[in-house]
Amino acid sequence: MQAQFSKLESHLRALAKSRDELRATLARIEAQRTTYSDSYTDSVQAAAKDAHTKSLQAAYERACELIDEAMNQASINAAVWKNLDSPRLANALKIIELSKGELQAEDKRKIVNEFVGDPQSLRALRQVFKSMGSSYDGGISDLLYNPGEAATALKQIAMNAIIQNGSLNSLASSIRKIASREGIDFPALIDEAGATEAIRVSAGLAPRT
């Protein structure tokens, strides 16, 4: 799983770099406006933007491929018992049973956090919590998800972020939420310049591009 999410991160960082390069190109052309006519400057800037736009479809399709790779692997992992023969799971289940439903919420979370990225063990833990009459499952419900549905949602967010020139950071944040359920860290900030532009716009200032 780490490999799949690492490839996604690299792809998003490359997209952010491409946006940075476009901003720099447009700024360089703009700086020459006093030398060349407005119509010429505008046409050169338009050509730079058009070249960038033409690359976005392929970038989006690649993002979708990487999302599918990650979520397909998540589906495979979800069917595997990682701790079936491990004393860790047996001990955790025993602790829950011996508590007779008296475990504190913090203690439940600590037990659950030991099995992040292991859906089969999490389901076993949830079943025992349920059998003990516990209304709180230690956060298991927040960790279990449907990889197919996640892939569909992420690809829609990727469409907005890449094709419609939306926020790459919003896409990264959404991927981060899924990665955390697999016990994998993923950066929420991919496009620092984009974050700065968002702050400018929210403050009522015109974007630089």
Residues 209, 204: Cα–Cα separation, whole Å = 15
pLDDT in tens, 104-138: 999 999 999 999 999 999 999 999 999 988 889 99
pTM above 0.95, yes or no: no
Percent of the chain at pLDDT exceeding 90: 83
pLDDT at 140: 96
What is the tens place of the pLDDT at every residue in 59-96? 999 999 999 999 999 999 999 888 878 899 999 999 99
Q: Are 156 and 171 in contact (CB under 8 A)?
A: no
Which pair of structure tokens corresponds to residue 143?
């960790």
Please tell me the distance from the alpha carbon of residue 24 to that of residue 106, in angstroms, as a whole number: 49
Q: Residues with Cβ < 8 Å from 181, sequence gap 6 or more? A: 116, 117, 142, 143, 144, 145
For the chain, the structural domain boundaries read 1-209
The mean pLDDT value of the chain amounts to 92
